[in-house]
Structure 1
Amino acid sequence: MKHTFYQRAVGFFIGCLFLMPAAYSALSLDRTRVIFNDEEQSATVMLMNQNAENPFLAQSWLTDDRHNKVTTPLMVLPPLQRIEAKGYSLIRLVKTEQISQLPTDRESLFYLNVREIPPKTDKPNVLQIAIQSEIKVFFRPRGVKPAKDEIWQEKLIVRKTGNTFQVENPTPYYITVSGILKQPKATRANPASLLKGNAFMVAPRSTLSVEVNDGTVDRFYLYYVNDYGGHLELPFTCAQNQCQPAIRK
């Protein structure tokens, strides 16, 4: 009897969740990634409150590439701030003395986390949800500054092993791949995806294995994310088991 009551209670709770409206994020960032160049003393991100009626608190912090919270060698200012309705503010990322401990021959990865804290409500039976956003922060040392108009993603090498792609990144930059398609997006409304999983990121001077639906293809179209958050196309052609970008001139 108790077991039946428990099942009904859980079912009622889950049903209520489905009836709830989708959570709406009031705070938004003005970009999806931050490039922090070593020659700069700080990097800024704009934070906007889309809510027209209520102020929100914004709690901000940094995590490292393993998602551990850090306050060095970069820190966030301010860690907590109030943003008025339809207002905006800035988050500053600043270097600390420990910045010299980061590698000088490659990028370092961090994550900027922002949690919005809604104002307290006096309405009964209201469930408030603190929504959290996360974007990548790439610290780029002086020694790896790219040349003007350089497209380092064109240096990617893909090796086919069965239904696995070994994606090699020989560059000092992180490379984010948002998709791999059999046909370019421009030719079809919904081109077939080769990836079994989601988007992925390859660390500097490393190789990552990704599963694909068809390892026999002799060409494909890889989409990467550039410094400005744009998704750009890079066609690849394969000779036997090795694939490289078909550079357009």
Structure 2
Amino acid sequence: MKITILFFSLFFSLCSFANNIIVNGTRFIYPGNEKEITVQMTNTADRPAIAQAWLDNGDPNESPDTIKTPFQITPPISRIEAKGGQVLRIKLMNKQAIPTDRESLWWLNILDIPALSKKEGKDENVLQLAIRSRFKFIYRPTGLGTPESAVEKLSLIPKGNQLSIDNKSPFYVTVTKISTDNKGALNDKTLMIAPYSVETLTLSKALKSGEVVTINYLNDYGADVANTVKVK
């Protein structure tokens, strides 16, 4: 008897890239003055694939059937032919549910389900892997200013090897590296700081008040950008 196993990595592959489906970005910004944004998917494989797309509120283990967001994705499920493409359209349906004085964060999920070939379909045992990618999806209201100014508004407060980072801007800031010589990182993990919130990092050495440090952060295009900030 032929057994086909379809394994969805829905709860296990949280941040990996889809196996054969390439997406045109590492993060997606929805400007408040746009009616919708589009996301381009390309199937690089020699076989068709099924792609399922949905947004979540931050819990990667929540089922797509139970998640509610103010956005609509069209189409939520699509067949992408070999070497072909598909455009996702994401439209805001309920603007009243979103704060207007800061950015809001969701996560865009793309589940890549490769189709079985005829040869594989004849095998007695088939293991089919469905790989999920998860991308930051940020809604940015109009009138917030420029996101490049967010790093300049960070307040660094040292306490021994602990460094509290106070984000006084309306933007999400993802800090990838903190250094004093723009080379060796003092932190061992990336930190995303929500608007008007404080996060704390453990550094490999203590910083002094008045010291100038280099902070590397990710911009809207996923590029790593360096900026200098003075420690309080």
Normalised by the length of structure 2, the TM-score is: 0.82
Q: How does 1:90-129 map to 2 (within 5 A)?
A: 90-96=87-93, 98-120=94-116, 121-122=120-121, 123-129=123-129
1:192 match:
184
Quote the Cα distance in structure 1 between the aligned partners of 2:164 and 2:148.
24
**Per the alignment, in what secondary structure is the counterpart of residue 154 of structure 1?**
helix
Quote the Cα distance in structure 2 between the aligned partners of 1:170 and 1:155.
6
CA drift of 1:143 comes to 3.5
Q: Is residue 192 of structure 2 the alignment partner of residue 201 of structure 1? A: yes
Match of 2:155 among 157, 160, 172: 157
2:214 match:
221
**Per the alignment, in what secondary structure is the counterpart of residue 127 of structure 2?**
coil
Quote the Cα distance in structure 1 between the aligned partners of 2:125 and 2:206.
53
Q: Is residue 60 of structure 2 the alignment partner of residue 62 of structure 1? A: no
1:36 match:
30
Instruction: Please give the per-residue CA displacement for 1:74-125, whole angstroms capped at 9, x wherever unaligned.
Output: 12111100111111111111111x3211111111101100000011232344
Quote the Cα distance in structure 1 between the aligned partners of 2:102 and 2:207.
33
Structure 2: unaligned runs, 5 residues or longer: 1-16
The structure with the largest helix share of the pair is 1
2:139 match:
139
CA RMSD across the alignment? 2.0
User: Which structure's relative contact order is higher, taking Cα pairs within 8 Å and 6+ residues apart?
Assistant: 2
Instruction: Please give the per-residue CA displacement for 1:143-195, whole angstroms capped at 9, x wherever unaligned.
Output: 32x25x853221111110111110111011111112223422xxxxxx32211
CA drift of 1:237 comes to 3.5
Quote the Cα distance in structure 2 between the aligned partners of 1:216 and 1:151.
23
Per the alignment, do residues 26 and 182 of structure 1 end up closer, same or farther by CA in structure 2, a change over 3 Å counting? same
Instruction: Please give the per-residue CA displacement for 1:200-247, whole angstroms capped at 9, x wherever unaligned.
Output: 110001111111111136343211111121110112333xxx1xxxxx
Structure 1: unaligned runs, 5 residues or longer: 1-22, 185-190, 243-249
Larger radius of gyration: 1
Q: How many pairs are equivalent? A: 206
Normalised by the length of structure 1, the TM-score is: 0.76
Instruction: Please give the per-residue CA displacement for 1:19-70, whole angstroms capped at 9, x wherever unaligned.
Output: xxxx97101111011110111110111111111x101000000011445553
Quote the Cα distance in structure 2 between the aligned partners of 1:143 and 1:73.
20
Which amino acid is the alignment partner of residue 176 of structure 2? S
- Maintained 8 Å contact 2:214/2:227: yes
